[in-house]
Amino acid sequence: MIRRISKEYIFFPLAMHQWLIASCGFGCMLLCARVIVTGYLTYVFLLWNLFLAFVPYAVSYWLFNIRRIRENRWKLTLALAVWLLFVPNSFYILTDLFHLDEISSAPKWFDLLLLLSFAWNGLLFGIISLHKVEAVLQSIRGKSFSLFIVFIVMWLNAFGIYIGRYLRYNSWDVIVQPFSLFREMIEVLLHPIDKKMEWGMITCYTVFMTLLYITIKKLGENFNQVKK
């Protein structure tokens, strides 16, 4: 039986949408200023990456607020599958920091702030969307995610980051070129010793993102307790 999702379960205040818009707007203003001053479109790809990071947030928001989707098993399964497919994009944007040393058409401090702004917004989309999905599943199953489940989701995110950053696949390649994508994924999974650097990267990112999510969640819970 599906329970009503309590608004108090979400640890962000009601004005979070406005703050997210303001935060994304600030990053976009930095990008526009860079294009105007330097005349280069170097970091325009950040807009696309931020949009991809927004997709799982939009799916989770849709799931959280539309009850009839949660009550239909097939729609719920499809929505969760889409969410799981796109949510690595929210954390992938963190690796755009790699570009800091590759481009020198603007001051380093400015490019660092620009990249951090987009990375932060992407992380916010990912963390909030994961928490909303946790709330949805709690309304159905009656209990929160275990640490193990969070770790598994973050492992999938880290694996998705590796696929995107190093194998250069996108989320839609699951449909466009599934066989080559599947073949390379199996190559990594079946040869952990030969791919130890890849597994090291995936493991480190998994632990980092798990700690990040749990820490922010606990901070929110502490704030709610103080408020009460």
Summarize pLDDT for 163-183 with one digit per residue, the tens: 988 888 877 787 778 888 888
Q: Are 85 and 171 in contact (CB under 8 A)?
A: yes
Q: What is the pLDDT of residues 59-117, one digit of tens each?
A: 999 988 888 888 888 888 999 999 999 999 999 999 999 888 877 788 999 999 999 99
List % helix, strand, coil for the chain (3-state, nearest 5): 80, 0, 20
The CA distance from 13 to 213, in Å, is 17
Q: Residue 228 and residue 22: Cα distance in Å, rounded?
A: 28
Query: Residues of the chain with pLDDT > 90: what percent?
Result: 51
CA atoms within 13 A on the CB side of 119: 15
Give which of 91, 87, 94, 99 is closest to 116, Cα–Cα. Answer: 94
- For the cut 50, the answer to whether the pLDDT of residue 8 exceeds it is no
What gap in Å lies between CA 134 and CA 9, rounded to an integer? 10
- Written as one letter, the residue type at 200 is G
